[in-house]
Homo-oligomer: A and B are copies of this chain.
Amino acid sequence: MIVGLDVGGTNARGMLIDPDSLSIVGQERASSAGDGAVLVETLRGLVERLVGDEQPTAVGLGVAGLAQRSGTVRYSPNLPDLIEYPLGPALAEATGVPVATLNDASAVALAEARLGAGRGADDFVSITLGTGIGAGVVVDGSLAQGAFGFAGEVGHMVVEVEGPTHHTGQRGPWEYYASGSALGAQGRAAAAAGEFAAGVALAGSVDAITGFEVAEALRAGDDDAARIFDGFCRWVAVGCANLVMIMDPQRIVIGGGLSGIGQPLAGGVASWMPEVTLGSAHRPPVEIRMAELGDEAGALGAGLFALESLPAD
């Protein structure tokens, strides 16, 4: 049996996976609060609850942050107590089982590649639109982790060098414009200008509007929401076009917190792609698809990564 772990800023999710059928045969959750030692104990407990007396073959560990291939978390805005902490090796030590570590958005990409919306595409990019933007890049059927394991930090790609300063300190990174948080900010800006009454009604006040209220008003057919959302989709497409220039994916898969919007999101981004993609008349259109695996993709992908990257015994 394989265990996949997905460690986010609030929760850690564990999944028991049958290595032959790749089906999910157990799931557990725990809080991810605490420093490195506490988290290792939490994750060890999760593994134990999942496998009982059995020993898993391997553990895959997906972490929200810069997770080095070696298993050290170099930096994580969501897990500030983990900076420079060797989470993977410490968990291997605690469980006695090999641990393969990767970034959580890369884990999502691998799961979608093998079992979800990436199937049938050897070259694709999976992006997750939430608080920020994460991504996993699949090249010739394999996850591209990069030299150190940090590939896919596409939210920090600068698309407006002279743009506004993001909370990361960068000016004009893609996630300033195209994350789930950005959709909320664009809704608040419209509401503050008196152009999103439906959002104010749904959220209670201008300041309480998030991406979810924009999505809800969009679903309800509100024209203001449709306009806000169209502008947002253009920003998503602008960054996707950059990824297309650099990596030439056949497909881009959209997941994360905003994926509840569903097909209107994929359709909205797709509608902007020809306009923002240079030479679109001379290249096949890039498929824009919604992710298929939802919240389970991270832990599932971490497990698949362990299965694919650790030597079978």
**Is the Cβ of A161 less than 8 Å from the Cβ of B238?**
yes
Q: What residue of chain B has the Cβ atom nearest to residue A123's Cβ?
A: B147
Size of the chain A interface, CB-CB below 8 angstroms: 55
A166-181 vs B, Cβ < 8 Å mask (1 yes, 0 no): 0011101100000000
**Is the Cβ of B238 less than 8 Å from the Cβ of A151?**
no
**Is the Cβ of B74 less than 8 Å from the Cβ of A146?**
no
- Does A154 belong to the interface (CB within 8 Å)? yes
B residues less than 8 Å from A283 (CB atoms): 66, 74-75, 148, 150
* Beta-carbon contacts under 8 Å, A145-164 to B: 145-154, 156-163
A168 to B151, CA, bound (A): 29
- Does A241 belong to the interface (CB within 8 Å)? yes
Q: What residue of chain B has the Cβ atom nearest to residue A160's Cβ?
A: B161
How far does the Cβ of A83 sit from chain B's closest Cβ, in whole Å?
Answer: 7
Say yes or no: A246-B148 contact (C-beta < 8 A), given A75-B282, A170-B278. no
How far does the Cβ of A58 sit from chain B's closest Cβ, in whole Å?
Answer: 20
B residues less than 8 Å from A83 (CB atoms): 282
How far does the Cβ of A285 sit from chain B's closest Cβ, in whole Å?
Answer: 11
B residues less than 8 Å from A168 (CB atoms): 278
A149 to B282, CA, bound (A): 13
**Is the Cβ of A148 less than 8 Å from the Cβ of B66?**
no
**Is the Cβ of B159 less than 8 Å from the Cβ of A161?**
yes
**Is the Cβ of A150 less than 8 Å from the Cβ of B248?**
yes
- One of B123, B140, B241 near A142 (C-beta < 8 A): B140
A140 to B139, CA, bound (A): 10
**Is the Cβ of B159 less than 8 Å from the Cβ of A158?**
yes
A173 to B241, CA, bound (A): 11
Enumerate 8 A-B pairs (CB-CB under 8 Å) in ascending A order.
A74-B283, A123-B147, A124-B147, A140-B142, A148-B283, A156-B278, A161-B163, A246-B247
Given contacts A152-B246, A157-B245, A162-B162, 16 further A-B contacts (CB under 8 A): A74-B283, A75-B279, A121-B147, A139-B140, A147-B249, A147-B251, A151-B248, A153-B245, A154-B245, A154-B246, A156-B279, A158-B159, A158-B242, A169-B278, A246-B247, A247-B247
